[in-house]
Structure 1
Amino acid sequence: MHWTDINDIAIELSEAHPNVDPLSLNFVDLRNWVLALPGFDDDPEHCGEKILEAIQAAWIEELD
């Protein structure tokens, strides 16, 4: 997975952290959780706030 795999990342996060409200998570923790996902293989420096916002939004949508 790469930073651009927003929906795949959101699915993996929702499965790895089923009891977490994505709105309560700060972006530092969100970034660290993405980096820790099995199969994630991208440069940590290629992530910005817009990507994290997109991941958060996709995760919220995944929960609905």
Structure 2
Amino acid sequence: MPLNWRSTHEIAAMLFEKYDTLNPLSVRFTDLHKWVLDLEDFEGKPEESNEKILEAIQMAWYEEWLDEFGS
């Protein structure tokens, strides 16, 4: 199923799977933007992203990370 910028939780799960030990809060939005664009099945356009969307993805990813590694 194709992903777009609104697929926050699906994107977060994929990023956690790919970068499982990395604390998402340490990731710059510029890197996060590129990593999302590089995900398989991602069909969103780069210009459709914004800080609010990237923050939502980062926080969903952080929740996944917390579930695994705790605070």
- Length-normalised TM-score, structure 2: 0.87
| Structure 2 unaligned blocks of 5 or more | none
Give 3-state SS (helix, strand or coil) of 2:56's partner. Answer: helix
1:43-62 aligned at under 5 Å gives the runs 43-62=45-64
Larger Rg: 2
| Structure 1 unaligned blocks of 5 or more | none
Q: Percent identity?
A: 48
Instruction: Give the CA RMSD over aligned residues.
Output: 0.6
- Displacement over 2 Å in runs of 4+: none
Corresponding residue for 1:16? Answer: 18
Count of residues in correspondence between the two structures: 64
2:43 aligned residue (41, 47, 56): 41
